[in-house]
Amino acid sequence: MKQILIVLVAALFFVSCGNQKGKQAETESKVITVSILPQRTFVEKIVGDDFAVNVLIPPGSSPAAYTLLPSQLKDISKSAVWFRIGYIGFEHSWKDKVSEANPKMKVINISEGLDLIADKMEQHGDHMHIDGVDPHVWLAPLMVKKMSKTILDEVVALNPEKKEEYTANYKKFAEECDQLDAELRAKLEPYKGRKFIVFHPSLSYYAREFGLDQYSLETGGKEPTPQHMKSVVDMANKENIRVIYIQSEFDREHARVFADEIKGKIVQVWPLNPEWEKNLRDMTDTLIANF
């Protein structure tokens, strides 16, 4: 009798362990990691709440210099995939640590194949070598449409039984991107060629898409030199520009000095806002109001 009980207990133990491992594997496969808040919006547009989305850079932090917390490395260890923007400074400096936290996690650069803005692009044999890439691709709706197709392909691979649902969601979101692009293009058509000034060059793709001309105080990720500051001040006075736009996570001191020089004002923008569509509409209205 004792032998039978021992066998039964052992069998229950192994079944329990198997279930726990199965649940753990299922939980890990249901987590997706992204670098910035807008990406969470893009993923959720396609998968709904089928996956938990882990965002590495929290609100108010700079993607260029963020340092991961130990608790975040734990969250990464549960992820099936990491969708990188591809060229954010943080992503490069932390990629080895992230990979160590979860060697099995797939890493996808969702900027792959996009028409990137870069300081230098050279063909090296069968590949292109790119330096100084502007990472702010999510601020152009048609770029987001392309990135979302990459997201779709990966989430379908993770959860193939939902392929039809995810594909339908993607198509709906792609239409929203097209509609947003057309709406912003129509609004900004009368202002083509207009110049605006930012502290950090975060609106490069937005400006390129809609025919605007962005000038920035910060160059190459460095604080402005006195010579560069003077040249932008001179341009602002010549063009009668009285606004400088700055992201909330940056020090306002240089922007304040600049605003004083042009007898203008500082206007805060938040390119990392998770309310992506509303944010682009609001930023467009703000720019138009200050032209």
d(CA 257, CA 253): 6
Please tell me whether residue 115 adopts helix, strand or coil conformation. Answer: coil
- Other CB atoms within 10 Å distance of the CB of residue 243: 19
DSSP class of residue 10 equals H
* Global confidence as pTM: 0.86
pLDDT mean over 54-79: 87
**Span 208-238, pLDDT tens digits:** 999 999 999 998 778 889 999 999 999 999 9
pLDDT exceeds 60 at position 100? yes
pLDDT exceeds 80 at position 3? no
Whether the Cβ atoms of residue 88 and residue 135 lie closer than 8 Å to each other: yes
What pLDDT, on a 0 to 100 scale, did the predictor assign at position 66?
84
Distance of CA 25 to the CA centre of its chain: 27
Model confidence at 81, pLDDT cuts 50, 70, 90, reads very high
Whether the Cβ atoms of residue 126 and residue 24 lie closer than 8 Å to each other: no
pLDDT exceeds 90 at position 271? yes
The whole-chain average pLDDT of the chain stands at 88
Structural domains of the chain, ranges and CATH numbers in brackets? 29-122+134-183 (3.40.50.1980), 184-290 (3.40.50.1980)
pLDDT exceeds 80 at position 265? yes
What pLDDT, on a 0 to 100 scale, did the predictor assign at position 257?
93
- Other CB atoms within 10 Å distance of the CB of residue 140: 24
pLDDT mean over 24-44: 82
